[in-house]
Amino acid sequence: MSTFFVRLGCWVLLLAGSFQAWSQGAGKNYRHGPNDSLLAQLKRPSTPDTMRVLLLSQLGALASRTDLAAAKGYGEQAIALGQRIGYRKHEAKNLSNLAAMYYNSGNYPAAQRYFTASIVLAKQQKLPTTIGFGYVGLANVASALGDHRRALQHFEEARQYFVTDQPNQAAAQGQMLILGNMANEYVDLNDLPEHAPPATGPATRPREPANGP
């Protein structure tokens, strides 16, 4: 269902942070537009390794829906470089970007593993927004597998990470995204038997192939 990919697209843009506006210009040929400047900075010998991690993270996020192979390559390079130099600031987001790439390719078990790894690391680093969107990702995986009750459970887990005493754009967008997705899940549940039993284990079969919108 294309709405799943609209949801995930919104989630990736929110995670992208400072470069979310650039993604609006990223078409199917991801090497043109804003990526040119990122690639140019990446190739400069004088670019510090910490900046290379950020640039690779940005390139991976921008490519996550237009070139899955490139997204995987950039994400894995960013994680490996960050771990090698002891700079793990963006690792949780890179894990989420890889999860999004696997989700978009229909590899739901891998997407689930990477979303979970992102949540674990983000909790260690006290990154509530990243944690919240990790649970949104797990909810989308469950929804794509037809497990709407589990999806609602993950959306509820995500909501607590967007409750803040200091209103901000990311928290507001996160709440709106979650509430909209939860409404979709309740609509889908109306199509199920009235007394369907609650989920007791992970869903094992996707409801439909993972195709883009």
Tell me the pLDDT tens digit for each residue of 33-71: 567 888 888 889 999 999 999 999 999 888 877 888 998
pLDDT of 16 higher than 80 = no
Angle between helices 128-144 and 108-124 (to 10 degrees): 160
- The band of 177, judged by pLDDT with boundaries at 50, 70 and 90, is confident
d(CA 115, CA 141): 10
* Torsion on CA atoms 30, 61, 5, 174, rounded to nearest 10: -140
Please give the CATH number for the structural domain made up of 2-189. 1.25.40.10
Of 157, 134, 145, nearest to 188 by C-alpha is 145
In whole angstroms, give the CA distance from residue 42 to residue 46: 9
Going from N- to C-terminal start, the domains of the chain cover 2-189
Give percent of the chain with pLDDT exceeding 90. Answer: 42
pLDDT in tens, 89-136: 889 999 999 999 899 889 999 999 999 999 999 999 999 889 998 999
* Sign (positive or negative) of CA dihedral 183, 20, 103, 49: negative
**With 80 as the cut, is the pLDDT of residue 85 above it?**
yes
What lies within 8 Å, CB to CB, of 149 at 6+ separation is 189, 198, 199
Locus of tokens 């199917």: 28
